[in-house]
Amino acid sequence: MPLETPVHVANELARRGYNAEPEAVTLIASASDPAGALERTLETVPDEAVKLTADHVKEAIETRSRSGGQGGDVGASPGTDDPGRSADPTVSTGESDPGSTDTGSGAPVETKGVSGDGSAAASDTGASTATVEADADQPTGTGQSSSERASESGRTPADPDAQSIDIEGDISSTGTGEYADFVAVFRDRYEKLSKQLRGRVNHRPTDAIESMPGGSEAAMVGMVSDIRSTASGHWLVELEDTNGTFPCLVMKDRDIADLVNELLLDEVIAVDGTLADDGGILFVDSLYFPEIPRTYEPSTADREVEAALISDVHVGSQEFEADAWHRFTDWLHTADADRVEYLLIAGDMVEGVGVYPGQDEELDIVDLYEQYERFSEYLKEVPGDVEIVMIPGNHDAVRLAEPQPAFDEELRDIMSAHDARISGNPSTVTVEGVDVLMYHGVSLDEVIAELPDEKATYEEPHKPMYQLLKKRHVAPQFGGQTRLAPEKEDHLVIESVPDVFHSGHVHKLGYGKYHNVLTINSGCWQAQTDFQKSVNIDPDVAFAPIVSLDTLDLRIHDFE
């Protein structure tokens, strides 16, 4: 676990169950040895402390206690039966891979003219656009204000007969919260993902591999239950299937060692290789992720129609950018937005109440229901012929554990003015034949914290989304901030390949194509909060990525 940035520190603390003052986070991050400082702080903090303060950190760093104690329990963390555990950072697949020699292998080959830095694609004057196809560094804004545009030429109403939306993913919870349900949900994950991997290797169950003679060739499909580096710098990956676990060794000087950097606990992969002479370990030759086929051909709409993708509106926060929102909705009423017939909102409609420690100081509306009432008012500004689909995020008033159900009747009533379609998180929404996987994105914090920077950063938030596509699961690792609801089924598996993958949550704009799947993180409508300031998150505010459903091209509008 790399701990050098405040975000990593905050994530790590959250993962260990601590709330922390922003100053405490910055102090740890700026220590000469952040990982050590964090460990020492957690060792010395009084048990009854509810919140980690700057004083706790100072005390710990100054009184330098015995270091080396690494909290966490590596061995006893089988992915299938102990969902409550927290992963040990010492076995994470952080950036310091001593054995990695080749960073090329396994890196996704994709992207169609993507700048990687979405914010560079737009100017700050009025409603500006950039297309993914074009040189994204060249702002193409007109400098007109949206009201100027609106008076020039208004929107032509959409033809309701031509519009179509189908939604899958409105889960109604079936789980009881019993231990057996956690086992069931992991079993189902294994079943679904192993089905996707089975064609790739001639796999055997662990008990069959155990009875094979040393030196045999063998393959298995398993859930990653442990990742450790050995004394000599090789990687020991323990895979678990429904029969047991088996240790697999990835040699540090092999090209595939780089793939170990991408592994997360609890994800399902396949390996093949040769058994050691005593048969007790598998030397891995190849490692496979469930993956999106490189040849995937996305579906497109059969008329020229567009969808606007947004997320993280955060109404009720003092930082909600109402003026930018008005510019956006004004623009939707202009002829330039004639083809925008859909608006997809990927979670965090409102700021919520009590979501993060200290949040109340930055609330503009302190009552949760009033926040939704205000949000509903803002939705009314959207032209009535635009179909709206929304799913909840971690600030919304539904359970945090994923999958999150859709808003309940009471909240639907409050938000009924525009007749939006309301679904769970995640959901697959088929818009005129185009499958859009909408997932709010809480797991992205974890993917970014765990994987090395070249695979996942906040600056390029589409890249951790690529990892979710590759792993065919929207929340592969379990146990940190990503909470999993015990269900009979794992609804978080990406069973069929989406044409568009839409997330938010990290408040950064980013987009690209992964094996032809258009992947978009849509930024936010909330200016930088104090917390974000303290951890150096510089949000991308008031961008609206607009997808042409007939071509899957993208234009980005900036309403900041």
Q: Using CB under 6 A, which of 356, 370, 489, 550 touches ligand D5M?
A: 356
Partner in contact with 356, chosen from ligand D5M, Fe ion, Zn ion, none, beta carbon below 5 to 8 Å by kind: ligand D5M
Residue with tokens 């994800």: 267
Give Cβ neighbours of residue 362 (< 8 Å, ≥ 6 apart): 317, 318, 319, 351, 529, 530
For the CB of residue 113, give the shortest distance to ligand D5M in the complex, in Å.
27
Q: Using CB under 6 A, which of 39, 97, 291, 312 touches ligand D5M?
A: 312
Residue 185: in which H helix or E strand, if any?
A: helix 179-198
- Dmax over CA atoms of the chain, in Å, equals 80
DSSP secondary structure letter of residue 330: H
Which residue, judged by CB position, is nearest to ligand D5M in the bound state?
Answer: 356
Q: Which residues 337-366 are close enough to bind Fe ion by CB under 5 A?
A: 348
Size of the site for Fe ion (CB under 5 A): 2
Q: Does residue 394 bind Zn ion (CB under 5 A)? A: yes
Residue closest to 325 by CA, chosen among 305, 350, 304:
350
What distance in Å separates the CA atoms of residue 515 and residue 470, rounded to the nearest whole number? 9
Count of positions (residues) in the chain: 560
The dihedral built from the CA positions of residue 439, 444, 446 and 452, taken in this order, carries a sign that is positive
Q: Does residue 435 bind Fe ion (CB under 5 A)? A: no
Q: Does residue 336 bind Zn ion (CB under 5 A)? A: no
Which residue, judged by CB position, is nearest to Zn ion in the bound state?
Answer: 505
Give Cβ neighbours of residue 29 (< 8 Å, ≥ 6 apart): 3, 4, 5, 6, 8, 9, 535
Q: Which residues 465-524 are close enough to bind Zn ion by CB under 5 A?
A: 505
Q: Does residue 314 bind Zn ion (CB under 5 A)? A: no
Which of 303/533 has CB closer to ligand D5M?
533
Partner in contact with 472, chosen from Fe ion, ligand D5M, Zn ion, none, beta carbon below 5 to 8 Å by kind: none
Q: Does residue 10 bind ligand D5M (CB under 6 A)? A: yes
Exposed/middle/buried for residue 355 (C-beta within 10 Å: 0-12, 13-18, 19+): middle
For the CB of residue 544, give the shortest distance to Fe ion in the complex, in Å.
16
Partner in contact with 473, chosen from Fe ion, ligand D5M, Zn ion, none, beta carbon below 5 to 8 Å by kind: none
Which of 364/385 has CB closer to Fe ion?
364
Distances 559 to 83, 183, 357, 458, 525 between C-alpha atoms, Å:
42, 46, 30, 21, 10
For the CB of residue 314, give the shortest distance to ligand D5M in the complex, in Å.
7
For the CB of residue 313, give the shortest distance to Fe ion in the complex, in Å.
8
- Taking 3-state DSSP, the helix, strand and coil percentages for the chain, each rounded to the nearest 5, stand at 25, 20, 50
Which of 445/490 has CB closer to ligand D5M?
445
Binding positions for Fe ion, rule: CB under 5 A:
312, 348
Binding positions for ligand D5M, rule: CB under 6 A:
10, 14, 312, 348, 356, 394-395, 445, 505-507, 531-532, 537
